[in-house]
Chain A
Amino acid sequence: MGAPIRLTVPGTLRYRAIAVRTVAEAARLVSASARVDPKDPLANDVRHPFDTAIVSAFMEIFNNVAIHAYQRREGGTIELSITPSDRELVIELRDNGRPFDIDRVEPLPSDLDDDSLPEGGMGIHIAKTMLDEMTYEPGPPNLWRLCKRLSTQPVATGAGRS
């Protein structure tokens, strides 16, 4: 495992795209997925199941830190440590905002119909389901650790997940 990629961004949604692009590029180092449009280096070509999983999870956790930890206020930072290896990608996010009560996240309704379709509370569920491991330690600093392993299993089909 090489040295981690380190990036510190202000903890607001304005800087989200920079962080997401960095994670997408790191994911491609692991999945070795080719760009769909080589002429557009900034295209959002998150297509490989591995890239899909880790980028989807990361977007939700970044949102969570900016909204819940930092309450959409400026002044805080998010320290990212992104460690790609042959078979997995580990991302750590550290913030000095308010701790998040992860145990209070409610599960999604088991049967979805027109009435029970959720309009919120999906972010942590998405992150947790997309990843192989996700841990949160309240701080300061608060620490989210996300891990996705390269697998032949498809993601988000409900099959092959433990």
Chain B
Amino acid sequence: MPTPFEVQSTNNETRLIIRGSLDINSAPALAEEIDRITASRPARVVVDLAQLDLIDSSGVAALVKLYKGIRSAGGEISISGARDQPLAIFKLLRMDKVFNL
């Protein structure tokens, strides 16, 4: 079974791949990873949601925290690949425009 999230770092970019369900049960573990990513002050972060099937408000909150953390430290962040239920949630919350989905 694939892990729910994976971080791939190169010199230029940190890539965060999130799979399956990002919800109130899985978000706390991701939040720890997000703290580590933010603390490393990467120049560019790419969040890949192509394999994300479900998200709830806790999962959205974790992504917002990452987005704000990277941007406030002067880094770039892009969120891509959202589809189906997660995309519907971002649209409902009108975050699709902010995240440029």
Contact = CB atoms under 8 A, between A and B. Distances in A.
Interface of A: 13, 16-17, 43-47, 49, 52-53, 55-56, 59-60, 63, 67, 108, 112-114, 117-120, 122-123, 125-126, 129-130, 155-158
Interface stretch (B7-15, B40-48, B55-63): B55-63
A157 B58 CA distance: 21
A60 B85 contact: no
Interface of B: 20-21, 23-25, 53-54, 56-58, 60-61, 64-65, 67-68, 71, 84-85, 88-89, 91-95, 97-98
Contacts of A56: 56, 85, 88-89
B84 A112 contact: no
Given A44-B21, A126-B89, A126-B92, 10 more contacts: A16-B23, A46-B85, A53-B88, A63-B58, A108-B93, A114-B67, A120-B57, A120-B61, A130-B92, A155-B88
A130 B88 CA distance: 10
B53 A45 contact: yes
Contacts of B24: 13, 16, 63, 67
Given A13-B25, A46-B84, A156 B53 contact: no
B88 A156 contact: yes
Nearest to A120: B61
A129 B94 CA distance: 12
B93 A55 contact: no
